[in-house]
Structure 1
Amino acid sequence: MEQRQRVGYGPSISRNQRRCADCAHEKLAAFSCKRRGICPSCGARRMAASAAWLVDHVIPKVPVRQWVLSFPIPLRSLFAVRPELLAPVLQIIH
């Protein structure tokens, strides 16, 4: 279904050029396709809505434990060469 509706969608018709009557400044305004997987604006909107639904309805009801730990690049290099130094750091965090 969506594949057939893609016909006629492309850069030439997926935007509208606007011009200010006072200063003649031009700006491109993107149209949205209201479909999945075609244009970035509709894809981003759907992704944000899905993430919000997960946060509101799924994540509070299931046990979730996730830790994200970032190290500066010099420390990453050191831990890559000497992984035994990483273990004590992870023990502190865990």
Structure 2
Amino acid sequence: MITYIGFLMVAFFQGCDPVALKDVQTIDQLTILLANRIFEGIPGLPGLFLATIFSATLSTASSGINSLTAVLWEDFIKDSTFGKNLTNNQTSVLMKLISVG
């Protein structure tokens, strides 16, 4: 999705530089400018577009954290002396603490 948005920005802003024209202050703001220009006149759609991007980012981050927690449990804690004595509820709490910490 990020690559698609990048290609879309290159095509949309071809021949003009929004940073040089002072439409934005930094290149980090180009995605927001693109959403505002494409969805101009449609209330709420730029916000929905940006919310979708943030949602995808948070989903990817949480998947990575969950995977890391599962690997730590399976490879390091489960077969240790500490891990063998844990009940299912204690294991669940421990994995949640690892995810947060």
TM-score by length of 1: 0.29
TM-score by length of 2: 0.28
Q: Which has the higher contact order (CA 8 A, sep 6+)?
A: 2
Q: Select the structure that is richer in helix.
A: 2
Q: Select the structure that is richer in strand.
A: 1
Decide which structure has the larger Cα Rg and report it: 1
